[in-house]
Amino acid sequence: MTYDLYIGDRLFSSWSMRGWLMLEKFNLPYRSHMIGLYSGSMKQDMEPLAPARLVPALRLPEGTVLGESLAMAETLAERHPDAQLWPEDPAARATARWLCAEMVAGFSALRGQCAMQLRHVWKGFVPSSGTLADLERIETLWAHARRISGAQDGPLFGTYSLADVFYTPVAARIIGYGLPVSEANWAYCLDLLSDPAVRQWRAMGMTVQYDPFPYPQELSSMPWPVGGDSNAKPVSGGPSLNEACPYSGRPVADFLELDGQCWGFCNPFCRDKTVADPGAWPKFTALRASVNDS
């Protein structure tokens, strides 16, 4: 039983991130397929999924196509009750549904002024009054969630749920634009962005180069706060300390240098996602440890 998930460019598609986290974080089997949001091929790429017209879209193992993230979330929760995508407690579950529904329908000022981007943090960004109102509402909802769940920090409802999935791109906007929220909520945003799955999503997005970069600002920037200041770099050749790619097990053909050591990978994508954030990949971390400890 494998799902087919159709996503857009990882650095910018907040809704695609939500769809991917639903499957990745709850260990549901899937294959991902890229839709060309910025390459001009989106309409053509989406035709086999009609009448779905936006990313993400999900094809169920039986062939049914779903659009809209909330419909995907409810369907996956229904099909996989043991995965506990929603909180177990009835009051918490109802509240989590409310928060997700309001996220889908609201916060238009925040979304309009602060397009999601995961490359860096803008310095000196000035939010509009509408964006500030959206931030105040978000903090009100998060506080309400914690009153219902009793969770002082970490996931909103104590254990990771779809509520955290839906608000991860909100956290990316708050951090990426340096938006004003409470210290506790800033920490929550950083917790969401520090999740290994989110780091991997960003690292995969960083393998694509954009010229010009979408959604520019006439501002200076700082490195992304989690895994955003990598000291790895691609190199043209080996020899590498490893003979097999840490991800596929296939022979190495592409290489990076990290801390004076050369490591090999089976293709440029495996190399480049590791260059973007070496610490995001447990298999690469384990390989380094095994070689350096031997």
- Residue 270 CA to residue 113 CA, distance in Å, equals 34
Residue 209 has pLDDT above 80, yes or no: yes
Query: Taking a C-beta distance cutoff of 8 angstroms, is the pair 3, 30 a contact?
Result: yes
Spell out the domains of the chain, with CATH numbers in brackets: 3-83 (3.40.30.10), 90-199 (1.20.1050.10), 230-293 (no CATH)
pLDDT, the chain, mean: 97
pLDDT class for 179, splitting at 50, 70, 90? very high
Q: Tens digit of pLDDT for each residue in 109-127?
A: 999 999 999 999 999 999 9
Q: Tens digit of pLDDT for each residue in 140-161?
A: 999 999 999 999 999 999 999 9
Percent of the chain with pLDDT over 70: 100
Q: Tens digit of pLDDT for each residue in 69-98?
A: 999 999 999 999 999 999 999 999 999 999
- Residue 260 CA to residue 232 CA, distance in Å, equals 9
**DSSP class of 213:** P
Q: Tens digit of pLDDT for each residue in 7-34?
A: 999 999 999 999 999 999 999 999 999 9
Assigned token pair, 6: 């159709």
Which residues touch 278 (CB under 8 Å, ≥6 apart)? Answer: 230, 232, 258, 284, 285
